[in-house]
Structure 1
Amino acid sequence: MPFAKHRRAAQSLFQLEVEGSGVRFTIEDTGPGVSERDIFRIFEPFYRSDSSRNPGYGGTGLGLTIAQRIVRAHQGDLSVRNRSQLGGAIFTGGGVLAKSNKMMS
């Protein structure tokens, strides 16, 4: 992909806490964050905060919408704020773990 040589390598930090029947996670990254004007719309279907991206490579604006709906289906929520320790966005979410009769291995 010709555009890849111009992109900065990103780093992410993922934290997961499980307590009782609940789970909480945080994802932080080194990206540019989310602009203040976009932060309230970032989970809307088909909303793309970075209009400079080439539509052929930039996605459809559904990824965060789908992620939020999955978390909400597990009685939780997904939110975003800026300025992680790594410099980018911080996504925080959680929910209720599904009950299972199987033991995890």
Structure 2
Amino acid sequence: MSNNEGGLWIRTKRVKINTAVKIPILDKAQTILNRYTKHHCLIASDAVLPIYSNQNTNQYLKVIAEILNIQKKLTFHIARHTFAILITLSNGVPIETMAKLLGIQS
């Protein structure tokens, strides 16, 4: 969906807390989304990216860490924390919005 300023947004509902959220799509994210427009896993789906389990995500993060020689153990939990700090709060997203994006009830 477009916003009033011409940017794209994702509108969805958080499953656990049944709250509507609007997520602005940053330019870098749009570039990534464009790469997946014809991905075979998404052809008959409403998803815009492939959806992996936490276990699969952790395996992929382990491979990425090895390739990049990152000594820290990367996990889905660490990725959530990184999203919260580096992507949302560093870009001026209010902490309440960040909590909603992560599904944290206040």
User: What TM-score results when the alignment is normalised by the length of structure 1?
Assistant: 0.25
Decide which structure has the larger Cα Rg and report it.
1
> Looking at both structures, which has the greater relative contact order when contacts are Cα pairs under 8 Å and sequence separation is at least 6?
1
